[in-house]
Amino acid sequence: MPARVFIGRIAVLVAASCMYAADPGLRIGEAEAKRAATERVAPVYPITARQLKVTGKVVIEAVVNDNGIVSEARPLTGNPILTKPALEAVKKWKFKPFEVDGKPSAAVVTLSFEFDTK
């Protein structure tokens, strides 16, 4: 493998692993995250996806800062035509701040959305 290709692959891996500038370390499960949500925005089902009968589950991982605001989000699973509206929705969610030792703390949450034509 040429050195340039190898270095390019390493750069992609490093960038992907460092998506979150500062992973807060605190990870919150979906049930707890939904209980802490103070504002929830439902994703808009894309018309094209509905017409093509594209369905499925999208799982999003998001960083919630110590003020309860989503600062970053990325899809973990899901059809790309459905992940975009799920990401847009999650970025509008707000949460009661999560706490560590009684102090507000940033956290990583996982949220899932089901897209169905029914």
- pLDDT at residue 118, rounded to an integer: 75
| Residue 114: alpha-carbon gap to chain centroid | 14
Secondary structure (DSSP) of 65-110: -TTSBEEEEEEEES-HHHHHHHHHHHTT-EEPPEEETTEEE-EEEE
In the chain, the amino acid numbered 57 is K
Q: Which residue has the higher pLDDT, 13 or 27?
A: 27
Residue 113 reports pLDDT greater than 50: yes
Domains of the chain (ranges; CATH) run 22-115 (3.30.2420.10)
Strand partners, 109: 28, 62
Q: How far apart are CA 27 and CA 95, in angstroms?
A: 14
Q: Which residue has the higher pLDDT, 13 or 106?
A: 106
pLDDT (average), residues 80-98: 97
pLDDT in tens, 50-78: 999 999 999 999 999 999 999 999 999 99
- pLDDT at residue 117, rounded to an integer: 81
Per the prediction, the chain carries an average pLDDT of 87
- pLDDT at residue 19, rounded to an integer: 52
